[in-house]
Structure 1
Amino acid sequence: MLAYAGTRLLGLVVLAVWGAFADKSPHQLLAARWDALWYTRIAEEGYGYALRLPDGAVHSDLAFFPLLPALERVISAIAPLTAADAGLLVSWVTSLLAAWGIFAIGDLLHGRRVGLTLAALWGVLPVGIVQSMAYSESLFTALAAWGVYAALTRRWLWAGLLAALAGLTRPVGAAVVAAVWVAAAVELLPGGRWRRAGGMDRGLLAGVVLAPLGWLGYVTWVAFRTGSVTGYFDVQNGWGNGFDGGLAFARFIGGLLTGPPFVDGLGLLLGVGALIWLYARCVRQRQPLPLLAYGGAVLVLALTAKGYFGSKPRLLLPAFPLLLPAAVALARLRPGRAALVLGSAGLVSALYGAFWLHGSGPP
């Protein structure tokens, strides 16, 4: 956690220095722009706000899942903090919990050194600055990491509860549900612990039932709120989001490859190829099936989503299992060399994060 906190502190220091020269407030960049404004409005006023654009599109706050704004509302009510500052507090605390959960998984599978390297790698991702923003990525990743860890260690009630909470945080909470269900399925297969014991594990059944309730509960509530069974998906379409199997993303890359920004398209294509290669490495590494199910689901949902293509790196932040092969390789290096690699990556991440937030930033 200290190693991870060091990477995030470096990112915040570089952002503050950059902001001093650019005459911009780091606090505003972290807590009062883009999606953070929507979460704050929900925390302060509840659901019901919609922005109608000149082209007829409707951006409704129902697109945002409720756990983060609910926490902002509660914390701002009991502490001398605004809802925006409460969002920052939630993000900073849960980013540490996420790093701890990621470490726990790496430690469980390959030992403490790999766990430490895996947590540090998550912190030095190019868009790692989002982990320090009043966004839901850190909260979700903390719930997801510990949910997957609970599934791997057969703590079924915890796995189901954490999956349900993850499903109240982001749409990709379905990936945590997949991990819990796959872990349960492994138990039920011939040779699984449950089958060998010859009895019924009520905790496993409870975890399986609990896992999807958060995601299903919110989607069902939106359906009643909008008067349509497909209400949540209609809201997403209003934002230009949704899932089309990656057709829109493929057309976007194709447009870049056939136009003047050819290099951008080629770089994006190589990036997608690298992600697929990393997942193949995870399979060859024989990661546990629940971890593969979770990482694969996050990857597929991010790559097949339409709209806001610039947000895909942010959507991939919770896909920490993809970093495990690199963590194993780095852990084999001498400590000094590994520290040099991670430190250099941390500095690049901090510089890019400051540049990103002072420019287009996360949509």
Structure 2
Amino acid sequence: MTDLAGPGHPRTRTAVPPDTRTGAWRRPAAAVLAYAGVRALGLAVLAVWCAARGTSVHTLLAARWDSLWYTRVAEGHYGYTVSLPGGGSHSDLAFFPLLPGLESAGSRLTPLTAPDTGLLVSGLASLAAAWALYLVGERLHGRRAGVCLAVLWGAVPVGVVQSMAYSESLFTALAAWALWAVLTGRWVWAGSLAALAGLTRPVGAAVVAAVWLTALLVLGRERRRPQARMAVGLLLAPLGWFGYVVWVGVRTGKATGYLDVQAQWGNGFDGGRAFAGFVGENLTGTVVGGLGLLAGVALVIWLYVLCVQQRQPAALLAYAGVVVVLALGAKGYFGSKPRLLLPAFPLLLPPAAALARRRPAHAALALGALAAASAVYGAWWLNGSGPP
């Protein structure tokens, strides 16, 4: 099978891909179980916090913010618009269709409601994402790094979103498995999963970019034309994202329909100018808030630099780079930046590899502390401002 790491990149330790050897289904179990433990801790702390405040765990996870919009689409299809006092409007066309489609199917085929189906989809998808993250980490840096990568993703500060009826877990699972397929030369799978990711979130374009860039590098290095399976994968990859954007354009009667819908929500891409202004306002206001924002941006950039220095495969660098640029360059919903960065799991590979080189007890202690901090922060966050 073609090694897609490229010159200078880490390569698999044997000629046989790890997922084809005996025990392929058992090896990721430790990573998935450890990840599940992190999320269970987060939910337990959230339940205690909600009990103390008299709030509803179910409402916070499945019936507020974006989850309400997904439920409306699931229960009534597209067409719901909220008129704003200033004359603007918010349309449900801003939300991509895969998650609400699954919620609709689940509510029709099972006793579950659409919101509960959303929680189930997110729960299962987050486990699938942890599995894929383990495989990526194992391929590049060994089994311990794979476990650490899965646990780190579950223990990020806004990790509680992975347990909500939101699309982040579903998207990350599809993106991670698509990237794994790219790394192992499974082009039809890569294209199919990229198409599904493109039906889940706008940032699905990042997965398409990873698939196409890797294919171009492989073809350029080997000086050949794409074989049939690669060609099929490349054709499939953009269909989800491009298809939905075109559909919104047809429905609104404008070629820029989707961009117009996002603009009504205050979203768009300005290269980070509005976000820089927001940081500046905080620096001249609370100061501490501004310094915190600068530290967060610096951390993201530093992690990406480490990814480059680590010589990650082009697919991971392209994917993470696009996710970071789109998240930091968006001009609206500044509080959403951490959540928008949640799918950028390659940023966690450098710390995962570093933890894997430490003694197991030290690594476990560090990961446990991060998981506890994430659980407390997630409970506080959801009971406060929470996701926009």
TM range, normalised to the smaller chain? over 0.9
* 1:167 correspondence with 2:167: no
The separation in 2 between residues aligned to 1:200 and 1:272, in whole angstroms, is 39
| Runs of 4+ residues deviating >4 angstroms | none
**1:195-253 deviation per Cα after TM superposition (whole angstroms, max 9, x unaligned):** 3xx56411111111110110000000000100000000000000000111111101111
The 3 A distance-change label for structure 1 pair 335 and 74 is same
RMSD of aligned Cα (Å): 0.8
Aligned residue number for residue 282 of structure 1: 307
Out of 333, 349, 356, which is 2:374 matched to?
A: 349
What is the Cα deviation at residue 55 of structure 1?
1.3
- CA distance in structure 2 between the aligned counterparts of 1:124 and 1:33, rounded to whole angstroms: 22
2:233 paired residue number: 207
How much does 1:107 deviate? 0.7
Cα offsets for 1:133-160 (capped at 9, x unmatched): 0000000000000001101111000000
Tell me the equivalent position of 2:293: 268
Q: Give the corresponding residue for 2:39.
A: 8
Q: Which AA in structure 2 matches 1:236?
A: Q
> Is 1:85 the equivalent of 2:85?
no
Q: Which residue of 2 aligns with 1:155?
A: 186
Distance (Å, rounded) in 2 between the aligned partners of 1:172 and 1:102: 18
2:65 maps to what in 1? 34
User: Out of 16, 25, 43, which is 2:56 matched to?
Assistant: 25
Equivalent-residue separation in structure 1 for 2:261 and 2:116 (angstroms): 27
SS in 2 for 1:154: coil
User: 2:347 is paired with a residue of what secondary structure?
Assistant: helix
Q: Indicate the percent of aligned positions where both proteins have the same amino acid.
A: 67
Match of 1:189, SS state, is: helix
Match of residue 101 from structure 1: 132
Q: In the TM superposition, what are the counterparts of 1:91-130 in structure 2 within 5 Å?
A: 91-130=122-161
Give the letter for the 1:330 counterpart.
L
| 1:337, distance to aligned residue in structure 2 (A) | 0.9
Distance 2:238 2:290 in 1: 37
The aligned counterpart of 2:328 is 303
Structure 1 range deviating more: 179-188 or 125-134: 179-188
Aligned pairs, how many? 357
- State how far apart, in whole Å, the 2-side matches of 1:79 and 1:199 are: 47
Q: Any idea what the Cα deviations from partners look like across 1:255-305, whole Å, max 9, x if unmatched?
A: 11122x111111101210111111011000000011100011101010000
- What's the secondary structure of 1:125's corresponding residue? coil
Could you report, residue by residue, the CA deviation over 1:68-120 in whole angstroms, capped at 9, with x for unpaired residues?
A: 00000001111100000000000000000001111110011111110000000
TM-score, normalised relative to structure 1: 0.97
Q: Residue 27 of structure 2 corresponds to which residue in structure 1?
A: none
User: Which residue of structure 1 lines up, in the alignment, with residue 5 of structure 2?
Assistant: none
Structure 2's unaligned 5+ residue stretches are 1-31
2:218 is equivalent to residue 187 of structure 1: yes
Quote the Cα distance in structure 2 between the aligned partners of 1:119 and 1:200.
Answer: 33
> Residue 53 of structure 1 corresponds to which residue in structure 2?
84
Contact 2:219 2:226 in 1 (8 A): no
TM-aligned CA distance change 1:199 to 1:65, over 3 Å: closer
How far apart, CA to CA, are the structure 1 residues paired with 2:36 and 2:287? 38
Distance (Å, rounded) in 1 between the aligned partners of 2:122 and 2:88: 30
Partners of 2:146 and 2:320 lie apart in 1 by 17
Aligned-partner Cα distance in 2 for 1:200–1:229: 31
Aligned to 1:292, the other structure's residue is in SS state helix
Counterpart of 2:267? Answer: 241
- 1:250 maps to what in 2? 276
Shift of 1:187: 1.2
Cα distance between partner residues in 2 of 1:263 and 1:356: 18
Residue in 2 that maps onto 1:317: 342
The amino acid across from 2:252 in the alignment is T
Match of 2:360 among 335, 339, 355: 335
> Which residue is equivalent to 2:318?
293
| 2:209 is equivalent to residue 222 of structure 1 | no
Distance 1:56 1:111 in 2: 55
1:186 Cα offset (Å): 1.4
Secondary structure at the aligned position of 1:51 is classed as: strand
- Give secondary structure in 1 for the equivalent of 2:331: coil
Unpaired runs of at least 5, structure 1: none
> In structure 2, what is the Cα distance between the partners aligned to 1:65 and 1:36?
12
